[in-house]
Amino acid sequence: MNTETNTLTSPVTINDLQAMKQRGEKISCLTAYDASFSAIIDSSGIDIMLVGDTLGITMQGHLTTVPVTLNDMIYHSQCVSRVRQRAFIIADLPFMTYATLEMAALNAAKLMQQGGAHMVKLEGGKPEIIKFLVAQGIPVCAHLGLLPQHIHQIGRYRVQGKQNLQAEQLVNDALAVQQAGAQLLILECMPASLAAKITQQLTIPTIGIGAGINCDGQVLVLQDMLNISAGKRAKFSKNFMQDAASIQAAIRLTMTPLNKACFQH
């Protein structure tokens, strides 16, 4: 096997993702919830598959992610991980499964041991929980900006960080979660200038969703980019099927240098 082929088929690690940031190479990420799509996404060369609690909306028909349980996340992570060969797998800790240090560690361990995840993701600036998980050998992806699990608290899905005080808090939170040991950071639904500022100040990769072109990578909800979502597609998403002859071709379109960075608020 030549070097190029080996690079394309070797499993992606967190070290690879961090190296991509250092090289200025955009990171690609799609949500995945089942074995069939996992195989297609993985074979297309996507860097990260996110088993997101968005499955509550896309797969289960709920209006929010709040009803999703840990058993739901374990099941769907298992489906994705069974056929994965290359992509790095991140799984969400769902609502109220990381309220305490011990609860977070126990549930994160289940996502990794039973679900096959390589990293867990949790919402909000929670440096104490992140630090505790990392001390147990659990890789963590933090998530700042719009927090879907907090929807009943914030009232509606809207851009975060538009006011100076909130923007400053998000920068501080980003630095705090990095200091606590998070190795990736999702930035959701915030002004592009703020996401760029955070990305520039961090040494860990940032993955944006509705956060502008200057994050280190972008994550798309699979159903949105294929235009098969049951609900309303986010205004910053794009229907990649309109320019593709197959699902795999549409997925590969998201990996072009332009499209990897084209989703912005």
Q: For residue range 159-193, list pLDDT tens digits in order.
A: 999 999 999 999 999 999 999 999 999 999 999 99
Q: What CA–CA distance (Å, rounded) separates 224 from 226?
A: 5
Decide if pLDDT at 259 tops 60: no
Q: What CA–CA distance (Å, rounded) separates 121 from 117?
A: 10
Decide if pLDDT at 229 tops 90: no
Q: What integer pLDDT is reported at residue 48 of this predicted model? A: 98
Are 70 and 81 within 8 A, CB to CB?
no
Mean pLDDT, residues 90-104 = 98
Q: What integer pLDDT is reported at residue 91 of this predicted model? A: 98
Report CA dihedral (241, 242, 245, 249) to the nearest 10 degrees: -40
Q: Which residue has the tokens 């501080």?
A: 172
Are 210 and 195 within 8 A, CB to CB?
no
Q: What integer pLDDT is reported at residue 256 of this predicted model? A: 67
Decide if pLDDT at 39 tops 70: yes
Percent above pLDDT 90 for the chain = 84
pLDDT confidence band for 258 (50 / 70 / 90)? very low
Give the three-class secondary structure for 154: helix
Mean pLDDT, residues 76-81 = 98
Q: What integer pLDDT is reported at residue 254 of this predicted model? A: 87
Q: What is the C-alpha radius of gyration for the chain, rounded to an integer number of angstroms? A: 17
Q: What integer pLDDT is reported at residue 263 of this predicted model? A: 42
Q: Is the pTM of this model over 0.85?
A: yes
What's the chain's average pLDDT? 92
Q: Each residue of 244-257: pLDDT tens digit?
A: 999 999 999 888 65
Which is more confidently placed, 64 or 229? 64
Mean pLDDT, residues 235-263 = 77
Mean pLDDT, residues 137-141 = 98
Reading the block at residue 16, the tokens are 């690879």
Q: What CA–CA distance (Å, rounded) separates 187 from 218?
A: 9
Decide if pLDDT at 9 tops 90: no
pLDDT confidence band for 213 (50 / 70 / 90)? very high
Give the three-class secondary structure for 123: strand
Reading the block at residue 161, the tokens are 């960080």
Are 86 and 9 within 8 A, CB to CB?
yes
The residue type of 47 is D
Are 254 and 28 within 8 A, CB to CB?
yes
Q: What integer pLDDT is reported at residue 265 of this predicted model? A: 36
Indicate the domain borders of the chain: 3-261
Does the domain at 3-261 match CATH 3.20.20.60? Answer given as yes
Decide if pLDDT at 207 tops 50: yes
Q: Which residues are marked as active site?
A: 188
